[in-house]
Amino acid sequence: MKVDIEAIRQAQNRIKPAVVETPLLSAAYLNDRVAATVFIKPENLQPIGAFKLRGAYNRMCQLDKTEKALGVVAYSSGNHAQGVAYAAKLLGMAATIVMPSDAPSIKIEGTRKLGAAIRFYERGSESREAIAEEIAANTGAILVPAFDDPDIIAGQGTCGAEIVAQLTSRKMVADAVLSPCGGGGLMAGASTAVKAMSPDTQIYGVEPQGFHDHYKSKIAGCRMSIDPGARTFCDALLATTPGELTWSINSQTVDEFLQVSDDEVAYAISYAFRYLKLVIEPGGAVALAALLSEKLDVTGQTVCIILSGGNIDRNTLTECLEKYPTP
Amino acid sequence: MKVDIEAIRQAQNRIKPAVVETPLLSAAYLNDRVAATVFIKPENLQPIGAFKLRGAYNRMCQLDKTEKALGVVAYSSGNHAQGVAYAAKLLGMAATIVMPSDAPSIKIEGTRKLGAAIRFYERGSESREAIAEEIAANTGAILVPAFDDPDIIAGQGTCGAEIVAQLTSRKMVADAVLSPCGGGGLMAGASTAVKAMSPDTQIYGVEPQGFHDHYKSKIAGCRMSIDPGARTFCDALLATTPGELTWSINSQTVDEFLQVSDDEVAYAISYAFRYLKLVIEPGGAVALAALLSEKLDVTGQTVCIILSGGNIDRNTLTECLEKYPTP
């Protein structure tokens, strides 16, 4: 299956019962700060606090009756976990999630609360892929991939389609769209939709410093991995290599990749608390961080940033607010 | 001037350049929790983090050239302060705000950042009215009242008009609308709009425990004050007696007044962090608190709650999150 605007349109119809069409917000202080017209796509306002439900539901609602009865399995540090768990609940399916033992507690509790079974693994010593495959083999459960799957990508793409439609209804065209980029699923879906509907819009992917595998791949012209030993508190963006399918798309649709440091992300989280009144998790704040730390000159432009999630532990939030009390 | 739906419609046209039409949000977890279809009107997403800009701008944009040159003065614990300061900045006017010295620092800094001059006063020993009147007498500045004024009330009423229009566009009618109630300006404006546009909708005002002057007035059939010595951390809702004009409206348009404790509000703030991903200040969270603490049986109903502001100090937020880590 090809991921094109038609697939994304079909996904839009499928996900309607489960997914919120998040509004496009504007914030006067932010506009002043960066001397641009900024629109915010707050995917933290989805039922599970992140965009991941879009792809998970689009994939899972297409399973047939027999497959549904077998249930699903997925591995995820937390947002895809909750997306799969929530979709499973809506569709009346069982779900098992393979999660790292050091996932943020808000994500672990959220997944559990949605009724999914959790199998923890140790990041250093265990393979989440192997564990998930074993569960699938033993139970017949269908594996729901986190990003490297056409239905997942098409589902995430609905976010980009909404952005363009919402701007069009305001008679506006974005000069630039900035999206967080981890495994590249949201990036691939959103960029496909935006480029199809608004070909003059520039697309930027934002990665945490050290996790710039898409940036490296763009420079090299082929899929590259990050250097070992990298660390970031953007727990949602820990992918070390672009997905095969996501890269085949992103290498064509994304104009440039930017990087932000953990400090720049912490600043953005505190800024969002103070001026946007939104709770954003580290991985969800990278596009805002790129804007605030001027990785891109957007003077006079119309810009849209995707805030992809808000599942942050209170301690992490508190630390960001203490570090940058008056952003 | 009468405050009716026509005045509110006129205000809607006037405030367009300054005020955000906040979206109507829904949250699946909240719907499950209270077994109702809940819509959230997030006024914390206004440029100044609270609804107060609606009324202030509607009042101030109607000043003539001579009045504008003289500037404005207002007294406020913080949200009206920022509303007046922001409107003054947009309209090119000078603004002086009389603020209590113990106002939340986020509100003091916000007001200052918007370019307003601040005159602090001591809550116990000084009269903010007298100070503001003196400033007005000395400088000719126009006093912008916080709530007891037809243009202010009509401005706040645009929030109610938006709610009904946004529900109508979803082909829905609210069974109940819950609004925070302090001096009663938002309450009076929103209830006027909702009752005019959706006469079958029940309107509830929510006050902090001990600051239930509207509740007492409703029972007594005339304006009543709270008992002395009451305390609440809902700093935006510290009015001790309903306004004359606001009460003349609210006594007719509000069906019932509810009260919530500080603990119930702290719980709601933590809930909003966790499940709604929204930053809400104490006074802005009372309607959500009323819903979560079951002050009202809304089973099976369509309900809209107004979250009126999000200007909360990080320490206050942190305390709420620590007190109720897993709401």
Contact between residue B86 and residue B47 where contact means Cβ atoms under 8 Å apart: yes
Going from the first residue of chain B to its last (327 residues), give the mean pLDDT of each consecutive group of 10, the final group possibly shorter.
94 95 90 96 96 98 96 93 96 96 91 94 91 95 97 98 96 98 97 98 98 97 95 94 97 98 98 97 98 98 98 96 94
Q: Residue B45's closest CA among B249, B311, B316, B327?
A: B311
- As a whole number of angstroms, the distance between CA A148 and CA B176 comes to 45
For the CA atoms of B288, B292, B293, B294, what is the dihedral angle to 10 degrees?
100
Nearest CA distance, B318 vs chain A (angstrom): 7
Report chain A residues whose CB lies below 8 A from the CB of B20.
Answer: 25-26
Q: B223 in contact with A at a CB cutoff of 8 Å?
A: no
Q: Tell me which residues of chain A, numbers 254 to 313, contact chain B at a CB-CB cutoff of 8 Å.
A: 273-280, 310
pLDDT value at residue B27: 87
* Cβ pair B277:A273 closer than 8 A: no
Nearest CA distance, B156 vs chain A (angstrom): 19
What residues pair up with A260 in beta bridges, in sequence order? A208
* Cβ pair A23:B20 closer than 8 A: no
* Cβ pair A325:B318 closer than 8 A: no
Q: B169 in contact with A at a CB cutoff of 8 Å?
A: no
- In tens, the pLDDT along A194-238 reads 999 999 999 999 999 999 999 999 999 999 999 989 999 999 999
Report chain A residues whose CB lies below 8 A from the CB of B277.
Answer: 42, 44-45, 49, 278-280, 310
Nearest to A278 among B20, B278, B318 (CB): B278
Question: Tokens at residue B17, please?
Answer: 């350049």
Contact between residue A278 and residue A44 where contact means Cβ atoms under 8 Å apart: yes
Q: A115 in contact with B at a CB cutoff of 8 Å?
A: no
Q: A47 in contact with B at a CB cutoff of 8 Å?
A: yes
Report chain B residues whose CB lies below 8 A from the CB of A308.
Answer: none
Residues 6+ apart with CB under 8 A from A96: A71, A72, A73, A74, A116, A117, A118, A119, A135, A139, A141
- In tens, the pLDDT along A56-95 reads 999 999 999 999 999 999 999 889 999 999 999 999 999 9
With H, G, I as helix, E, B as strand and everything else as coil, classify residue A129.
Answer: helix
pTM: 0.95
* Cβ pair B279:A279 closer than 8 A: yes
Residue A1: pLDDT over 80 = no
Query: What is the pLDDT confidence band of residue A157, given thresholds at 50, 70 and 90?
Result: very high
* Cβ pair B273:A314 closer than 8 A: yes
Q: B136 in contact with A at a CB cutoff of 8 Å?
A: no
pLDDT value at residue B213: 97
Q: A326 in contact with B at a CB cutoff of 8 Å?
A: yes
Report chain B residues whose CB lies below 8 A from the CB of A314.
Answer: 273, 318, 321-322, 325
- As a whole-number percent, the residues of chain A with pLDDT over 90 amount to 95
pLDDT value at residue A29: 87
Give burial (CB, 10 Å; 0-12/13-18/19+) of A31. Answer: middle
Nearest to A277 among B28, B45, B326 (CB): B45
* Cβ pair B42:A273 closer than 8 A: no
Q: Residue B46's closest CA among B204, B210, B156, B191?
A: B156
Burial annotation B259-274 (CB, 10 A radius, 16+ → b, else e): bbebebbbbbbbbbbb
* Cβ pair A317:B322 closer than 8 A: no
Q: Write down the mean pLDDT value for chain A.
A: 96
* Cβ pair A27:B47 closer than 8 A: yes
Q: Residue A24's closest CA among A199, A129, A160?
A: A160
The whole-angstrom distance between residue A229's C-alpha and the CA centroid of its chain comes to 23
Q: Residue A34's closest CA among A316, A311, A287, A320?
A: A287
pLDDT value at residue A27: 87
- As a whole number of angstroms, the distance between CA A197 and CA A221 comes to 26
Alpha helices in B122-261 (DSSP H): 128-139, 150-169, 185-197, 213-220, 244-253
Place of tokens 């006037």: B14
Q: Which residue of B has its CA nearest to A310?
A: B277
Report chain B residues whose CB lies below 8 A from the CB of A273.
Answer: 279, 314, 317
Neighbours of B30 (CB within 10 A): 24
Nearest to A44 among B20, B42, B277 (CB): B277
Q: A25 in contact with B at a CB cutoff of 8 Å?
A: yes
* Cβ pair B26:A44 closer than 8 A: no
* Cβ pair B321:A326 closer than 8 A: no
Q: Which residue of B has its CA nearest to A42?
A: B277
Q: Which residue of B has its CA nearest to A272?
A: B279
Residues 6+ apart with CB under 8 A from A16: none
B21, B271, B277: best mutation site toward chain A, by most A Cβ within 10 Å? Answer: B277
Residue B66 backbone dihedrals phi, psi, to 5 degrees: -65, -45
* Cβ pair A25:B23 closer than 8 A: yes
* Cβ pair B322:A310 closer than 8 A: no
Q: What is the ipTM of this complex?
A: 0.95
- As a whole number of angstroms, the distance between CA B119 and CA B176 comes to 40
Nearest to B277 among A23, A310, A314 (CB): A310
Question: Tokens at residue B55, please?
Answer: 């009324």
Query: What is the pLDDT confidence band of residue A18, given thresholds at 50, 70 and 90?
Result: very high
- In tens, the pLDDT along A237-254 reads 999 999 999 999 999 999
Residue A150: pLDDT over 90 = yes
Contact between residue B254 and residue B204 where contact means Cβ atoms under 8 Å apart: yes
